[in-house]
Structure 1
Amino acid sequence: MQQDRVIAYALRQLKDYERNYPAHDLELTAAMFALKLWRHYLYGAQCEVFTDHLSLKYLFTEKELNLRQRRWLEFLTDYDFSIQYHLGKANVVADALSQKQSSAELSFMITRQDRLVEEFHRLEIEVVPTGATAELMTLVVQPILTEQIMLGQQSDPHLQKVLAEIKNGKDGDFSIHTDGSLRFKGRWCVPSDSELRKDILSEALRSLYTVYPGGTKMYRDLKQNIWWPGMKLDVAQHVAQC
C-alpha cells in the first residue's frame, strides 16, 4: 500500500508443514512472504507491516524464541520496517481475500508488477538510485551476480583451461556464450569461489516466491541457469544450515 492506496495483492496456500504453526508464526510467515515478494520495492526503503496479531508487534523484544523464529528474525533484519497492530475486525479487505474460494487445490497469487522490474530480477540486475533531490531519480543499472561470475571465470585456472580447449576446437558440454562467458550445457559456469557460491545460494534461498524452499526444489530451480561441480551437495548443506 502506498499513499493509502493498494498497489498489489498477493496470496498463497499454506504448505503442509506450515499448517502446524501457531497463529503468530503464521502471521510472521505471511509478513516474510510479502517482504520477499516485493523485495525490489522494499529493500532499502522504510515500510510498515500491519498485523491483527498484537504479539507480533513485540517480536523483536522477545527473549524466548525458537530456532525457526531466530532464523526468520535474521532474515527480517535486512529490512527497515515497523510492525503496526491493526484490529482484525476492521480489516475487511484481508478477510475478503482470505475467504475467497478457489476451484483448484493450487497455490496462486494476484500481483501487479512492472515487467521491467521482473526482467531486472531475471537478469540479477540491481537498480541503484543516484539522486535524492528529485522525485523521479536517475537509475543506474549494475549487473550483480553475472558480472561476478564472469570476473571469477577469468581467474579460475580450471575454467581458463576449458576455455582454451574450446578455442582449440574441442567439442563437449562446455561452450563459449556470445557474451564471452563459459557455459556448461547453456548454464552459467560458476568459478571455484566459495564466497561467490555462498552469495548465489543465499540469494536463491531468499527467493521472492517461496517462504522457505527445500533443498530439492532449490537445486531444481538453480540448475536451470547455474552450474558448478558438486552444486547439489552444496545446496543441501546450505539449506540444512539455515
Structure 2
Amino acid sequence: MVRLDISDSRCVLAYVDAQSSLLDRIRSHQFENEDLVALRDRVLGGDTGLATLDLDGVLRFGDRLCFSRFGGLIQMILTESRDSKYSIHPGTAKMYRDLRQHYWWSGMKRDIADYVSRCLSCQQVKAEHLSPGGEL
C-alpha cells in the first residue's frame, strides 16, 4: 500500500507499507490442515508449548513457520531454496538443515529427500564425489 501526504511545508511525503505475500499464503493455508487448526486452538487456549502465534497471526513452531501440504507452498519453498542464485544444489542433509531453521511441516525430511532425488543437477554433483565402482 502506498499513501501520499502533503506536509505543512508543502512537501509530498510517501509512505510504503510492504508485506510478504508468503506470510499471507502460509497463514491462509494453515486453516486448511486440521492438525494445524487444532494446534492453533491449543495455542489460543493458553497451551504454552513450543507452538505460538506471531503478531501477524501466523502459527510458528519455535521460531519456524508452520505450514500445511496444501496450496503448493512446500514445492515453492523447495524450488526457491534450490534455485536461488545463492544456492549450489546442497544435497538432502544440507538442504534439510538449512530449511528447518525457518520452516516446519509434517514429513519435511521425506519431502526434501524426494525433491533432491529428482534434481538432475544434485545427482550429477553427487556422482562426481563417488569413487568408481570396483575400485578401493
When normalised by structure 2's length, the TM-score is 0.68
Structure 2 residue aligned with 1:147: 24
Give percent identity, aligned residues only.
37
Specify which of 47, 59, 62 is matched with residue 185 of structure 1: 62
Partner of 2:109: 232
> Residue 205 of structure 1 corresponds to which residue in structure 2?
82
With over 3 angstroms needed to count, the CA separation of the structure-2 counterparts of 1:167 and 1:219, relative to structure 1, is: same
Shift of 1:140: 8.9
Query: Which runs of structure 2 are paired with 1:44-55 in the superposition (5 Å)?
Result: none
After superposition, residues 43-192 of structure 1 pair within 5 angstroms as 141=18, 143-192=20-69
Distance 1:175 1:239 in 2: 31
RMSD after superposition: 2.0
Distance 2:27 2:97 in 1: 23
User: Where do 5+ consecutive residues of structure 2 fail to align?
Assistant: 1-15, 120-136
- State the structure with bigger RCO (CA 8 A, min sep 6), 1 or 2: 1
The alpha carbon displacement at 1:183 in A equals: 0.3
Q: How far does the alpha carbon of each residue in 1:18-57 deviate from its partner, in whole angstroms, 9 at most, with x for none?
A: xxxxxxxxxxxxxxxxxxxxxxxxxxxxxxxxxxxxxxxx
Number of equivalences: 104
CA distance in 2, matches of 1:172, 1:142: 28
Distance 2:44 2:17 in 1: 35
Of residues 227-236 and 206-215 in structure 1, the stretch that sits farther from structure 2 once superposed is 206-215
Q: List 4+ stretches of structure 1 deviating above 4 A.
A: 139-142
Q: Which whole-Å CA distance do the structure 2 matches of 1:226 and 1:179 have between them?
A: 16
1:56-110 per-residue CA deviation (whole Å, 9 max, x = no partner) reads xxxxxxxxxxxxxxxxxxxxxxxxxxxxxxxxxxxxxxxxxxxxxxxxxxxxxxx
Calculate the TM-score normalised by the size of structure 1: 0.40
- How far, CA to CA, are the matches of 2:66 and 2:114 in structure 1? 20
Q: What is the CA distance between 1:195 and its match in structure 2?
A: 1.9
Q: Secondary structure at the match of 2:41?
A: helix
Is contact 2:32–2:70 with CA below 8 Å preserved after alignment?
Answer: no
What is the CA distance between 1:157 and its match in structure 2?
A: 1.9
Contact 1:145–1:200 (8 Å) recurs in 2: no
2:100 to 195, 216, 223: 223
